Amino acid sequence: MNDQETMRRKRRAARMRKKRRQRKLLIGAMLVVFLLIVVVIVSGISAINKKRAEEEYAREQAELQEQQELFEEKIAKAKTLLNKLYAQMFQTEDEAFAEWFFGNCSGSEKEAFLEFSEKQELTNAELYELTGESMYVLSDRYQGLLADEETA
């Protein structure tokens, strides 16, 4: 009976080892499936966040483009007003004057001048109020007549 008992114990031990291996394989498979699910969820969340970020960026770019277009439109109107005043005062058209003016005036002068861009006309008095200089002085600066102490 000792041999039979020993054989039973060996068979039982073998069955137990087999069950443990099966449990380990099952747990391993479950871990792999769990990890795959986690990876899929994380990549899905990442894709959603990326899409949201891209949409936000596109929306911001569209707003910036719209603001830029409005700003350029105001600049064009302001240059037109300035060129009209220049043409009225000097009976000559010089579109480069407005380019020179906007290239040489300060940021605060530009902003103040852009406020007038909605108006239909600009007067010399308004220009003086905005810049502290009349059209005549600005024209002399533009032509280089007031470039230094000698030419002034």
Q: Where is pLDDT greater, at 34 or 117?
A: 34
- What is d(CA 36, CA 62) in angstroms, rounded to the nearest whole number? 39
- What is d(CA 111, CA 134) in angstroms, rounded to the nearest whole number? 18
Q: What percent of the chain has pLDDT over 90?
A: 39
pLDDT at position 71, please? 84
Band (pLDDT 50/70/90 cuts) for residue 149 is low
- Give me the sign of the Cα torsion angle 82, 86, 87, 92: negative
For residue range 16-30, what is the model confidence (pLDDT) as tens digits? 999 999 999 999 999
> Which segments within 1-152 are labelled E, that is strand?
none
Band (pLDDT 50/70/90 cuts) for residue 92 is confident
- What is d(CA 38, CA 132) in angstroms, rounded to the nearest whole number? 68
CA dist 137 → 25, 125, 134, 143, 144 (Å): 92, 13, 5, 10, 11
Band (pLDDT 50/70/90 cuts) for residue 145 is confident
What is the average pLDDT across 7-15?
A: 91
Phi, psi of 91 (to 5 degrees): 50, 35
pLDDT at position 122, please? 80
- The answer on pLDDT for 86 being more than 60 is yes
pTM exceeds 0.75, yes or no: no
For residue range 93-132, what is the model confidence (pLDDT) as tens digits? 777 888 888 888 887 777 777 777 777 778 888 888 888 8
Confirm if 79 and 60 have CB atoms less than 8 A apart: no
